[in-house]
Amino acid sequence: MDFSNLIRNPRSSRSREALAGYLFAAPWLIGLAVFQIGPLLASFAYSFTDYPIIAKPKFIGMDNYSRMLGDKLFLTSIRVTLTYTVFSVLIYVVASLFLAMLCNRSGQGVGLVRLLVFLPSLIPPFAAAVLWGWMFNTDFGIVNYVLTSIGLPQQGFFQSPSQALPLTIILGFWGMGSAFLIYLSGLQSVPTDLYDAIVIDGAGLLRKFWHITLPMLSPVILFNTIIGIVISFQVFDLAWLLTRGGPANSTLVWVLYIYRTAFEQFEMGYSSALAVVLFMTVALTAGVIFRTSRWWVYYEAKID
């Protein structure tokens, strides 16, 4: 089907192009309104109501928002989420770059190493949770077995309030496949002649990295940082499947708390308010990162 034929008598090629533009974008424009903006506005509206799912929503003004300030569990969930986000983004952005640079060469076995680095992120979250749960089981886990057999003390891991969150953060190391892939493609597009030039000047590995790889890669680093922040703020799977937020609420992340208020306490209104604040926090953080990017991101002289 050719949509441009539908317009028999176009006033100008410009209006014909505009019409084509709307037609091509139509699926998304509808989807954006119905499945994104609509629900966002609905959430916003519910956030001003008391809405136990069995009864009709009742308008209560700003009550949900003022309730948050005194909600100890909510404040805990913010602290947990921020800690998780800061360290996870570091792993997601820095460790994956390191791995991508290791794998950015040709030679025997590189393809295999790449697959092995990517493979763990394909494990479905529920299977990964079971896997980690058993490996780090306090009494029967293989990790504690190894620790005790080399003379180290047994660890609490997921049963210890001080270890559960750090461990959850570290496990993110096995789930950074997508950042790794994006870096890998970014590294492939750094022109080789830049390296040639600096090597002739006698630069070593570190200077190559600092003066060429890092600036050339900075747009990709920005992209991965933003994506990393967005996924870290929304972490849910592992915390829900592994620890259910415990022990002692030490892994009670924001989305888990939202999920609980919605599907366990059935407080749709309060839960919506929590979701709206989450949305604003993520937007604000991403906005600040974008603002600072002009100082550290290097764009080649290419104008959109």
Partner 1 sequence: MKANNRSLPQRNRNSPETSAVYNSRIIVALSFLVAIIMILPIYYMLYLSFSARGKEFAFPPTVIPKPFVVGNIVQAMKGDTLPLWPNFRNSLTYAGLATIGALLTESMVGFAFARLRFPGRKILFGITVGMLIMPFVVTLIPRFLLFKQFNMASGLTPLILPVWFGGSPYGIFLMRQFFMSIPYQIDEAAKLDGAGPWRTLWLILMPQALPVLVALGMLHFAYFWNDLLGPLIYAQKQDSKVLTQGIIFNFMSNWSPTWNLFMMASLLMILPVAIVFLILQRRFRQGFLFSGLGGR
Residues 82-141 that bind partner 1 (CB under 8 A): 99, 102-107, 110-120, 122-128, 130-132, 134-135, 140
For tokens 């539908």, name the residue: 6
**Which residues, including other chains, have CB under 8 Å from residue 44's CB and lie 6 or more apart?**
272, 276
User: Of 66, 154, 185, 265, which one interacts with partner 1 (CB under 8 A)?
Assistant: 185
User: Of 191, 210, 248, 288, which one interacts with partner 1 (CB under 8 A)?
Assistant: 191
**C-beta atoms surrounding 38 within 10 Å:** 12
Residues that contact partner 1, how many (by CB under 8 A): 111
Separation between Cα atoms, residue 213 and residue 207, nearest integer Å: 9
The reply to whether 17 sits near partner 1 by the rule CB under 8 A is yes
The reply to whether 205 sits near partner 1 by the rule CB under 8 A is yes
For residue 269, the surrounding DSSP H or E stretch is helix 268-296
Stretch binding partner 1 (CB under 8 A), from 71-79, 156-164, 180-188, 244-252: 180-188
Separation between Cα atoms, residue 167 and residue 251, nearest integer Å: 10
Number of DSSP helices (H) and strands (E) in the chain, helices first: 16, 2
User: Of 91, 97, 226, 253, which one interacts with partner 1 (CB under 8 A)?
Assistant: 226
The reply to whether 73 sits near partner 1 by the rule CB under 8 A is no
Stretch binding partner 1 (CB under 8 A), from 73-81, 86-94, 159-167, 200-208: 200-208
Closer CB to partner 1, 87 or 209, in the complex: 209
88, 216 in Cβ contact below 8 A?
no
The reply to whether 55 sits near partner 1 by the rule CB under 8 A is no
The reply to whether 159 sits near partner 1 by the rule CB under 8 A is no
Task: For residue 25, give the DSSP letter.
Answer: H
User: Of 55, 188, 264, 303, which one interacts with partner 1 (CB under 8 A)?
Assistant: 188
The reply to whether 302 sits near partner 1 by the rule CB under 8 A is yes
The reply to whether 214 sits near partner 1 by the rule CB under 8 A is no
User: Of 76, 138, 178, 293, which one interacts with partner 1 (CB under 8 A)?
Assistant: 178
% helix / strand / coil in the chain, to the nearest 5? Answer: 75, 0, 25
The reply to whether 10 sits near partner 1 by the rule CB under 8 A is no
> Min. distance of Cβ 15 from partner 1 in angstroms?
9
Separation between Cα atoms, residue 30 and residue 49, nearest integer Å: 27
Tokens of 49: 């109501």
User: Of 80, 239, 252, 276, which one interacts with partner 1 (CB under 8 A)?
Assistant: 276
**C-beta atoms surrounding 114 within 10 Å:** 19
The reply to whether 182 sits near partner 1 by the rule CB under 8 A is yes
46, 269 in Cβ contact below 8 A?
yes
**C-beta atoms surrounding 95 within 10 Å:** 15
Is the CA virtual torsion 224, 226, 231, 233 positive or negative? positive
User: Of 62, 94, 199, 288, which one interacts with partner 1 (CB under 8 A)?
Assistant: 199
Closer CB to partner 1, 244 or 248, in the complex: 244
The reply to whether 14 sits near partner 1 by the rule CB under 8 A is yes
N residues, the chain: 304
> Min. distance of Cβ 225 from partner 1 in angstroms?
12
